[in-house]
Chains A and B, each alone.
Chain A
Amino acid sequence: MNLQEWLEVATRGLKPAQQERIALEIKQHLEDAEAYLTQQGVLAEEAQQRSLEGLGDPLVASRAFLAMSSRPFVWQSLATLTYLMLSFPLGIAYFVLLITGFAVGLSLVWTWIGIPILALTFGMAAVFSALERSLAASLLGVYVARRPVYTVSGKGFWARAKAHISDKGTWLDVSYMFLRLPLGVAAFSLALLLWVLPLSLIAMPFAMHFAPDVQISFPDGWFGRGQLNALNGWVIALFGALLLPLCLHLLNLLASQYGLLAQYLLGNGAKGVSRPLQNPNTLQVVGALLVLILGAMVYLARSQGALPIP
């Protein structure tokens, strides 16, 4: 591994200005380290190698840089929610526009009209991928290097089209747009569940107070038969309040995996680094899963009549 490769891994996903500053500082650091070692009689080549090794694993540095530049939990959670909620409508838009463009363009390619349709479709894919890059950067804090729309500039249409079509990055971008639909639906449903569930639980006592006529039904056995009473409402709200931060952690964890995919497919196949969207707290995530599993078990046990109804 050389310095360039080390820097590429260590600073991936950071803002360009930040990348530049780190590159400069690490270069200065290595110059000092090499100068010291050569002073000690170490050969230049070995000094260079040993200085670089002294920096350690670039992945470790990368995680530290990404964690250092993360947002406060609440703001990041809101940004994450926005990103995940947007993935459904955007996923549908990309899918419909691109599939139509490719289908019509390819089927008409034998007439001249198919060519401009295909060119337009590729153009749309480039615009969409630029939009996705800026969404990933602004909402997930994952900076993916911009790919030039035309890899060959200053040449004729056919040369540019050929270069664009034979570019691996073009197809990775397009496959990302198509993946956005199934993944977007999954992300949207999960995001909706994970923030609507705790919020509706928290709202329970208020709903019972302000809209007493509305029937709120839980399965028989959850809170005894019949109507919920005020105390039960507050117990439910407390449960919701405990569940909310745990759900947001799960959402952030999910979104960091989307960030990873965006880095890989929009970054021309570059291996991404999983960005911790907030200081990762394994305990809270495991806690969230336990609460959900416990809730499901109690529900099942009660619906089967295994647990007595209070």
Chain B
Amino acid sequence: MNLKGSLPALILEVLSRGSSHGYEIAQLIKRRSQGVLDFKEGTLYPALHGLERDGLVTSSEQSENGRTRRYYTLTEKGEKALAAERAEWQKLSSAIGGILGGKV
């Protein structure tokens, strides 16, 4: 499924559970959507860098088991943006659910 435009919000959601690196973020999004949300991993990094530029995440290089990786952490601004995204999504999904879900 194409997740054009919603990737940054999904990244923020994954990072709200703790710092993580690019590969792990991609796997977590895929796993938590049970493979429905599949995307090319090359597009993850522009999204991550964009979030960092906007101050929603910060990054730093860390070593783990002798391997260096860049870890991303949610900032306070990022938390607020995520809360706004969640509220927006709930409003949208209940509106669409109201129409497509067959409720009267």
Asked if residues B67 and A31 are in contact (CB atoms below 8 Å), the reply is: yes
Among B46-54, B73-81, B93-101, the stretch that binds chain A is B46-54
Within 8 A of B (CB), among A44-94: 54-58, 60-61, 64-65, 67-69
Asked if residues A58 and B42 are in contact (CB atoms below 8 Å), the reply is: yes
The answer for the CA separation of A10 and B40 in the assembled complex, in Å, is 13
Min Cβ gap B6→A in Å is: 14
- A33-B23, A68-B49, A68-B50 given; A28·B67 CB < 8 A: yes
Asked if residues A29 and B47 are in contact (CB atoms below 8 Å), the reply is: no
Chain B residues whose C-beta falls within 8 Å of the C-beta of A6 in the assembled complex: 42
The answer for the CA separation of A32 and B22 in the assembled complex, in Å, is 10
Judged by a CB distance under 8 angstroms, whether A120 is at the interface is no
- A55-B40, A57-B40 given; A64·B70 CB < 8 A: no
The answer for the CA separation of A75 and B68 in the assembled complex, in Å, is 37
Min Cβ gap B26→A in Å is: 8
The answer for the CA separation of A68 and B50 in the assembled complex, in Å, is 6
Asked if residues A60 and B42 are in contact (CB atoms below 8 Å), the reply is: yes
Partner of A65, one of B21, B22, B46, B67: B46
The number of residues on chain A lying at the interface, defined by a beta carbon within 8 Å of a beta carbon of chain B, is: 25
The number of residues on chain B lying at the interface, defined by a beta carbon within 8 Å of a beta carbon of chain A, is: 21
Partner of A57, one of B21, B42, B50: B42
Chain B residues whose C-beta falls within 8 Å of the C-beta of A124 in the assembled complex: none
Chain A residues whose C-beta falls within 8 Å of the C-beta of B68 in the assembled complex: 28
Min Cβ gap A273→B in Å is: 13
- A32-B23, A65-B49, A68-B53 given; A25·B70 CB < 8 A: yes
The proximity string for A residues 15-39 relative to B, scoring 1 for CB distances below 8 Å and 0 otherwise, is 0000001101110110111001000
Judged by a CB distance under 8 angstroms, whether B89 is at the interface is no
Min Cβ gap B18→A in Å is: 17
Within 8 A of B (CB), among A228-268: none
Asked if residues A28 and B47 are in contact (CB atoms below 8 Å), the reply is: no
Asked if residues A25 and B22 are in contact (CB atoms below 8 Å), the reply is: yes
- A55-B41, A56-B41, A57-B40 given; A28·B46 CB < 8 A: no
Closest A-chain residue to B51, C-beta based? A68
Q: What are the 8 A-B residue pairs with the smallest beta carbon separation, nearest first?
A: A56-B40, A64-B46, A55-B42, A32-B23, A61-B42, A68-B50, A56-B42, A29-B23
Interface on A for B, CB 8 Å cutoff? 6, 10, 21-22, 24-26, 28-29, 31-33, 36, 54-58, 60-61, 64-65, 67-69
Interface on B for A, CB 8 Å cutoff? 21-24, 26-27, 39-43, 45-47, 49-50, 53, 67-70
List, sorted by A's number, 27 A–B pairs whose CB atoms are closer than 8 Å: A21-B70, A22-B49, A25-B22, A25-B45, A25-B70, A28-B67, A28-B68, A28-B70, A29-B41, A29-B45, A32-B21, A32-B24, A54-B41, A55-B41, A55-B42, A56-B40, A56-B41, A60-B40, A60-B43, A61-B42, A61-B46, A64-B43, A65-B49, A68-B49, A68-B53, A69-B49, A69-B53
